[in-house]
Chains A and B, each alone.
Chain A
Amino acid sequence: MNLMSNRLNVADSPHWRDGSSLARTHKIWLFALVPAMVASVWLFGFHSLRIMGLAVFFSVSLDAIANILVPSKDKTTNWSSVTLAILFSFMMPCNATWWMILVGCFVMIIIGKRLFGGLGAYSVHPAMLSYAILLVSWPERFDYTASLIFQDWGVKMVEPLRLIKTVGGSMEHVFHWQDLLVGKQVAGIGNALVLYLLVGGLLLLITRQISWQIPVAFIVGNLVTAGIMYYASPGQFASPLFYLLSGGTIFAAFFLATEYTTSPVNPIPMFIFGFIGGALLMLIRAYSIHADGVVFAILLINLCNPLLDRITPKIHGVEVTVNA
């Protein structure tokens, strides 16, 4: 037999792929964030554009530079740094300065992502890590209420969770749930646009980018914990629905807790992961000095991930079993 037909292409099976790729996945994530981005620009105007633009510019440039200095399989062209930048910028107050964004992007891309080994290797969400570092380094610059002091959207211009924390659950009636739902509440430039984030989250679910277990469990965990607290001391805490609609609960449930690398992959661990996240978020809101504890709740559950993923489903075909 001669080897004349060496023009044939040879590769491993399977020879069909479902058409997904890292770039495509991250583009879908970005697309899911578009409703919230548009709403953010509509509400916050130029500041929103400025922060998102700077964040994307800094993180993509840093990612590209890092890739030139230390080449890795985590190419800049996989769009992950863009998605991370948008997630990071959503948490920023609208008066964030350029150097805060630069420091944030440096921590996120270089320390949070690259130093751990790139996409897929980090143990905590890079955007959350950088936000946490900024928050503890310059706490006075993360006062959402102060950032929006000259704005008036026809609602009480105070961060809802901060008001509940300092005054008590009775202040709940100051805010209308419709206003909270459409994002007319004092917060970062994107993390409290509940309705638009829900639309994006649904898009992620329908395109099967994320599984339903984590967001559902996160929301359930949050509601259950808030419900217990509300039942125990109604004067101190607001109703569960209020906690769901204010701050970054929905943002965390759909976009932060579901980050692939830092979340479990098996159904039961995903459910536990989400539930712990929701419960922790509520506990942090109730008993810590931070008004909205999304960032710390996410960082803490990220650390539980390797342990939770030890709960694995039964493998078929390891030992002989006969069903009756």
Chain B
Amino acid sequence: MNFLQTIFKPLAHVPNHTEHEETISSVDNPEFVVIPLEYPGQVYYEPLVQEGDVVRKNQIIGKSKLGNCVHASISGVVKEIKPVWTARSYTVPAVVIESNKEPALTIDEMFESYGVPFQSASQVEKLKASGVISPWTTPGKFHHEEKMDGFPEVKQIIIKGVNEEPTVFAFELLLQEKADKIIQGIRKLNNIAPNATIWLTIPKRLVMWATEKFGESVQVAAVSDEYKHRAEGLLVRNLTGINIPNTMSYRGMGVAVLSVEYLLAMVDALDGKEPFTSKYMTIAGDCLPKAITVKVPIGTSIRTVLESQGLADEVYARLLVGGPMKGIAQYSDETPLTKSAHGLYLMLQDTLPDEINLTCINCGRCTQACPINLQIHLIGRYVEHNLLEEAKMFHPEACNECGLCAYVCPAHRPLVQLIYMCNHYKEQIDEPHE
């Protein structure tokens, strides 16, 4: 009778990609790195170095108004500071460093240049100096650093041990490989926010192990393998019980969301081990039998990372930073990898979906698949006919851009982009992007 139950199951089942390497390998230091100085909508760094300067690994090369820092991820010479195209489709100034194999700066030297000795630095200063952009040092997504004042105390903390994307395993592997360090991190979080409730999301298949391991120190929240249940906005709503509109920051409601990777970086920062200069990411794709998780210095170009894994560039036709559902297709493999890139996904020529855009047949699968119940079939058609005001009556701003609507659309309509256009069209005309 199983097949009869499918009638009542929710639509939009995204297949799970479970084949992956169980260990994390690291990528050698590259010949050069490109370190962006801006994360638009989040934080802007002022460069502290000039062309021709010799820098060492861990040296602070940029500082924001609030004192958040960005570091050189390899030792070398600053070749130039120039605008580059980043994986999130922004052109931002970046520092290009050519490797010279000098040893790294010690943590005390790094704090000295920050202006506060490590021993006397407060916890938040340690985080800022180490470049950990945590909810305690910035206001959160879509909100500029300057708006930090007046945010309420953090009452609820969600640590993401599961990535939304079905092909990104970096968080899950870190959970298993660095479990003890994560428990340390949770203790530290308890010190920073003593009154906060802390959740740790874990994939369902690890629930037994995780409850045993983390059950004492944190509330373990098992997340199903369905992509639909993994979206960050939904997790926040289900765990905290607070329905936070997509246009507001979680931090503004006293909720902090951080990933396991950031938690580990916080531990290193507070212990004075090392600043946040390398990150974990999963490389998956049709041309790989198993997804590989690697540790790479921030600013490494995608090509260097792929070449280190023996992936020549003839193999793939489309290169995504992120995963197949929300990932951004790159036009160049020289794009540097930043802190926000958790995965790479490679697609072969014959697995690319055909990009046809037909008329809506009103089948309503998008609306049934939508995790937040948007009337996507109406919004899409209104936007298509330039009726943006009418479309806005259906609250497109609540969209998380999870992509499930377009995933199920039989007419292959670019529904996410239509909603995005509805939300951003006017803004861009009124105030062009800085």
Which residues on A sit within 8 Å (CB–CB) of B352? 9, 11, 15
- Does B332 contact A5, Cβ atoms closer than 8 Å? yes
- Does B416 contact A10, Cβ atoms closer than 8 Å? no
Chain A contact residues (Cβ within 8 angstroms of B): what range? 35 or more
- Does B330 contact A260, Cβ atoms closer than 8 Å? no
Q: Is B117 interfacial (CB 8 A cutoff)? A: no
- Does B319 contact A260, Cβ atoms closer than 8 Å? no
CB < 8 Å neighbour of B325 from A6, A16, A72, A121:
A16
- Does B333 contact A312, Cβ atoms closer than 8 Å? no
Bound together, the chains give a CA A15 to CA B352 distance in angstroms of 7
Question: Which A156-180 residues sit within 8 Å CB-CB of chain B?
Answer: none
CB < 8 Å neighbour of B6 from A3, A206, A316:
A206
Question: Which A282-324 residues sit within 8 Å CB-CB of chain B?
Answer: 312-324
Given known A-B contacts A9-B329, A17-B407, A312-B375, A260 and B245 have beta carbons under 8 A apart = no
Question: Which B362-385 residues sit within 8 Å CB-CB of chain A?
Answer: 362-365, 367-368, 371-375, 377
CB < 8 Å neighbour of A208 from B6, B332, B355:
B6
CB < 8 Å neighbour of A17 from B8, B353, B400:
B353
- Does A11 contact B14, Cβ atoms closer than 8 Å? no
Q: Is A140 interfacial (CB 8 A cutoff)? A: no
- Does B317 contact A119, Cβ atoms closer than 8 Å? no
Q: Is B318 interfacial (CB 8 A cutoff)? A: yes
Bound together, the chains give a CA A31 to CA B433 distance in angstroms of 52
Interface centre among B12, B361, B416 (most CB of A within 10 A): B361
Q: How far is the CB of B244 from chain A (nearest CB, A)?
A: 6
Given known A-B contacts A25-B410, A316-B243, A260 and B359 have beta carbons under 8 A apart = no
Q: Is A247 interfacial (CB 8 A cutoff)? A: no
Bound together, the chains give a CA A25 to CA B8 distance in angstroms of 19
Q: Is B414 interfacial (CB 8 A cutoff)? A: yes
Q: How far is the CB of A315 from chain B (nearest CB, A)?
A: 5
- Does A6 contact B331, Cβ atoms closer than 8 Å? yes
Q: Is A228 interfacial (CB 8 A cutoff)? A: no
- Does A265 contact B364, Cβ atoms closer than 8 Å? yes
Given known A-B contacts A265-B364, A315-B395, A212 and B326 have beta carbons under 8 A apart = no
Nearest A residue (CB) for B234: A316
Nearest B residue (CB) for A261: B362
CB < 8 Å neighbour of A13 from B253, B313, B326, B372:
B326
Q: Is B345 interfacial (CB 8 A cutoff)? A: yes
Nearest A residue (CB) for B411: A22
- Does A21 contact B243, Cβ atoms closer than 8 Å? no
Nearest A residue (CB) for B352: A9
Q: How many A-B residue pairs have CB under 8 A?
A: 202
Q: Is B140 interfacial (CB 8 A cutoff)? A: no
* Binary per-residue interface labels of chain A (109-120) against chain B in the complex, 1 for a CB within 8 Å, 0 otherwise: 000000001111
Q: Is B209 interfacial (CB 8 A cutoff)? A: no
Q: Is B358 interfacial (CB 8 A cutoff)? A: yes
Bound together, the chains give a CA A313 to CA B364 distance in angstroms of 13
Interface of A is mostly: loop
Given known A-B contacts A12-B417, A14-B324, A322 and B317 have beta carbons under 8 A apart = no
* Binary per-residue interface labels of chain A (6-38) against chain B in the complex, 1 for a CB within 8 Å, 0 otherwise: 111111111111101110110000000000000
Q: How far is the CB of A97 from chain B (nearest CB, A)?
A: 32
Question: Which B6-56 residues sit within 8 Å CB-CB of chain A?
Answer: 6-8, 11-14
- Does B398 contact A9, Cβ atoms closer than 8 Å? no
Bound together, the chains give a CA A123 to CA B4 distance in angstroms of 32
Given known A-B contacts A12-B417, A14-B403, A14-B416, A21 and B361 have beta carbons under 8 A apart = no
- Does B329 contact A10, Cβ atoms closer than 8 Å? yes
Nearest A residue (CB) for B4: A206
Given known A-B contacts A73-B359, A319-B245, A320-B245, A15 and B320 have beta carbons under 8 A apart = yes
Q: Is A1 interfacial (CB 8 A cutoff)? A: yes
Given known A-B contacts A320-B253, A322-B243, A323-B241, A1 and B84 have beta carbons under 8 A apart = yes
Q: Is A205 interfacial (CB 8 A cutoff)? A: yes
Q: Is B360 interfacial (CB 8 A cutoff)? A: yes
CB < 8 Å neighbour of B243 from A13, A72, A321:
A321
Nearest A residue (CB) for B336: A1
- Does B411 contact A316, Cβ atoms closer than 8 Å? no
Q: How far is the CB of B23 from chain A (nearest CB, A)?
A: 27
Q: Is B272 interfacial (CB 8 A cutoff)? A: no
Q: How far is the CB of B265 from chain A (nearest CB, A)?
A: 27
CB < 8 Å neighbour of A16 from B6, B353, B365, B417:
B353
Bound together, the chains give a CA A121 to CA B411 distance in angstroms of 14
- Does B408 contact A18, Cβ atoms closer than 8 Å? yes
Bound together, the chains give a CA A24 to CA B248 distance in angstroms of 41
Q: How far is the CB of A257 from chain B (nearest CB, A)?
A: 14
17 contacts between A and B (CB under 8 A): A1-B84, A3-B331, A11-B329, A11-B352, A12-B329, A12-B414, A13-B322, A14-B416, A15-B324, A16-B325, A73-B358, A205-B7, A206-B3, A261-B362, A317-B233, A317-B372, A318-B397
**Inter-chain pairs besides A6-B331, A13-B329, A266-B364, 20 sampled, C-beta below 8 Å:** A1-B332, A1-B334, A9-B349, A11-B353, A15-B318, A15-B320, A18-B13, A18-B408, A21-B411, A72-B359, A74-B359, A119-B359, A120-B361, A208-B11, A212-B7, A212-B8, A260-B361, A315-B394, A322-B241, A324-B241
Q: Which residues of A does B touch, CB under 8 Å?
A: 1-18, 20-22, 24-25, 72-75, 78, 117-121, 205-206, 208, 211-212, 260-267, 312-324
